[in-house]
Chain A
Amino acid sequence: MKALFKRDHWPLWVVLSVMALALILPAVLPWTYDQIDWDAVRAPAFSGSHIFGTDEIGRDRLARLAAGTQVTLMVAIAAALVSLVVGIAWGATAGWVGGKVDEAMMRFVDALYALPFMFIVILLMVIFGRSILLVFVGIGLVEWLTMARVVRGQVMALKQRPFILAAEAAGSPPLTIILKHILPNIAGVALAYLMLTVPQVVMVESFLSFLGLGVQEPLTSLGILVKEGADDMDMTPLGLLLPGGLLVLLLVCLTIEGERLRDIYS
């Protein structure tokens, strides 16, 4: 825990600060994200109570930015957790059982890897309709593949270690061994890959929302804000630059932090 306060981890702190701001701001701002200020349509930055101005129908930009960041990050975290659970369950089973089962399970993962997953997610959206729940279930279900591969490798390496063999010899049931002895040992690597999954998911969610297939109005997300900004950029470039810049900042920080953790643990 103490290691997280080192200077190297600045990207993590940037992300956490953005997250904290996104949670606090809606409570302090005089405007909500969907409230229309009829007297200030396309207001420039720093005009009255609108710090970043308003959009093309007079909604406060900062409030929308905070709300969009909340949705984007929450979808990302939820989807990353789904991928963590599925990935660990799949990878640990394959690695622990081994043999033919392992081969079949990993072939399945290979086959899914070869598919263009963005198109699968879009197909799922078309089939089951566009709800925020499905956005992250859909994303989480295709983002678990790397996690499964990594966990399987770790489990296979751990399985040969004396303390696991000892636990087996002592008659511990497999589930106990996996939960008590194996999981704590792969937590670091899993955390690193979880960290790398979050930017992937942010990217997919914003991509879908940008195309109009993800989060739906009245909810908003960074992808929707980028889309709205792009549509109105000839009038108010700020509408594109603010959410776009914030999205890139989050993606860059999450990627750097994830890669750093991965290098530490593997």
Chain B
Amino acid sequence: MLALVARRLMTAVPTLLAIILASFFLMRLAPGGPFDGERPLPPETQAALQTAYGLDKPLWEQAWIYVSRLVQGDFGPSLVYRDFTVSELVAQGLPISLTLGGLAIILALLIGISAGLFAAVRAGKAADKTIMMIATVATALPTFVTGPALALFFGLWLGLLPVSGTGEGWSWLIMPVVALALPVSGAIAKLTRAGLATVLKQDHIRTARARGLPETKILFKHGLRPALVPVASYLGPAAAGLLTGAVVVETVFGLPGLGRYFVQGALNRDYPLVLGVVTLYAALIILFNLFADLIYGWLDPRMREG
């Protein structure tokens, strides 16, 4: 277990470095810069700004400076939010995005696994077909439609939940988390249902039935665990999907998370901000994949020495 973690972290560092360098050089290839406003700046000002932000140095030197500062936790200054460093923006946005994503994946697992389990127990019956139909529809629900639609119904019409901002208490989290969790829970329900359908046909289940074990014990103790293996391997892509979904949800509900800074940075060509957020996203996804692998190993002991 420890060996796996260590080995994965060893490959994570070069992967992360490659992603950072690739995005760094790609962004610098881009025509147009962060100081292109409506009115062209005088050349002296332009040059002074370039020097102040170190944009006049050779590219490889800029990359080296960037990475060496990054190692010390310094993401550099934001070019558009002039009074803030990227580290400050990111430190403020990360907790919000993590809360949204974390709660969404927990909710999606709860809904998805119970729905999939329920459908598998009633395989072939009307309940099974209905649940699978709902799951298919759920996977096709884009967050940028469900988000505003939820805000319209529960925020504007029923007045139950706040439409925008973080506000008091926890109620502001409900709609963003539900909008994020819906498509993921549909996919998890389908995977759980398919996994259980295969597992329940296997010999060890028949043996358990022959031994007269109660059906609930068969289902939860012998059936569910191997059936969740495909769900575990879906967790990595799901995390990436949740991060992209969070970009939309944060924009729709006006939450100051990482995603909003990413979009603002992309629209304004704020290189350090976009780079910083991409780096964090990549690190989060790598970490989450490692976590998913550990769950995978726990669910299926054969995978532990893989």
A interface with B by C-beta (< 8 Å): 114-119, 122-123, 125-129, 199, 203, 206-207, 210-213, 223, 226-227, 229-230, 233-234, 237, 240-241, 244, 247-248, 251-252, 254-256, 259
Looking at the assembled complex, report how far the CB atom of A50 sits from the nearest CB atom of chain B, in whole angstroms. 21
| Stretch of B63-71, B73-81, B86-94, B241-249 lying at the A interface | B241-249
Do A207 and B274 touch (CB < 8 A)?
no
Determine the distance from Cα of A115 to Cα of B241 in the docked complex, in whole angstroms: 11
Which residues B15-41 have CB closer than 8 A to chain A? 19, 23, 26-27, 29-32
Do A233 and B248 touch (CB < 8 A)?
no
In the complex, whether B59 has a CB less than 8 A from a CB of chain A is: no
In the complex, whether B289 has a CB less than 8 A from a CB of chain A is: yes
How many residues of chain B get a CB closer than 8 Å to chain A's CBs? 41
Determine the distance from Cα of A211 to Cα of B30 in the docked complex, in whole angstroms: 20
Looking at the assembled complex, report how far the CB atom of A56 sits from the nearest CB atom of chain B, in whole angstroms. 15
Do B244 and A256 touch (CB < 8 A)?
no
How many CB-defined contacts (below 8 Å) exist between A and B? 104
Q: Which residues of B contact A234 (CB under 8 A)?
A: 156
User: Which residue from B136, B151, B248 sits with its C-beta under 8 Å from A210?
Assistant: B248
Determine the distance from Cα of A259 to Cα of B26 in the docked complex, in whole angstroms: 37
Residue in A128, A211, A227, A247 whose Cβ sees the most chain B Cβ within 10 Å: A211
Do B243 and A126 touch (CB < 8 A)?
no
User: Which residue from B23, B252, B267, B278 sits with its C-beta under 8 Å from A213?
Assistant: B267
User: Which residue from A203, A213, A233 sits with its C-beta under 8 Å from B152?
Assistant: A233
Do A255 and B152 touch (CB < 8 A)?
no
In the complex, whether B230 has a CB less than 8 A from a CB of chain A is: no
The residue of chain A having its C-beta at the shortest distance from the C-beta of B266 within the complex is A126
Looking at the assembled complex, report how far the CB atom of A114 sits from the nearest CB atom of chain B, in whole angstroms. 7
Do A203 and B149 touch (CB < 8 A)?
no
Do A122 and B142 touch (CB < 8 A)?
no
* Known A116-B244, A127-B27; contact A226-B263, beta-carbon cutoff 8 A: no
Do A119 and B152 touch (CB < 8 A)?
no
Do A226 and B30 touch (CB < 8 A)?
no
Given contacts A211-B247, A213-B267, A237-B152, 7 further A-B contacts (CB under 8 A): A116-B281, A122-B263, A123-B266, A126-B30, A127-B29, A127-B30, A211-B251
Do A247 and B269 touch (CB < 8 A)?
no
Determine the distance from Cα of A123 to Cα of B24 in the docked complex, in whole angstroms: 10
Determine the distance from Cα of A29 to Cα of B145 in the docked complex, in whole angstroms: 27
Do B27 and A233 touch (CB < 8 A)?
no
Looking at the assembled complex, report how far the CB atom of B156 sits from the nearest CB atom of chain A, in whole angstroms. 6
Do B156 and A248 touch (CB < 8 A)?
no
Q: Which residues of B contact A213 (CB under 8 A)?
A: 263, 266-267
* Known A126-B27, A126-B30, A255-B136; contact A244-B285, beta-carbon cutoff 8 A: no
Looking at the assembled complex, report how far the CB atom of A253 sits from the nearest CB atom of chain B, in whole angstroms. 9
In the complex, whether B102 has a CB less than 8 A from a CB of chain A is: no
Determine the distance from Cα of A211 to Cα of B267 in the docked complex, in whole angstroms: 9
Residue in B136, B139, B149, B262 whose Cβ sees the most chain A Cβ within 10 Å: B149
Q: Which residues of A contact B262 (CB under 8 A)?
A: 119, 122
* Known A126-B30, A211-B248, A212-B267; contact A229-B140, beta-carbon cutoff 8 A: no
* Known A116-B240, A244-B145; contact A259-B152, beta-carbon cutoff 8 A: no
Do A252 and B243 touch (CB < 8 A)?
no
Do B244 and A119 touch (CB < 8 A)?
yes
Q: Which residues of B contact A127 (CB under 8 A)?
A: 26-27, 29-30
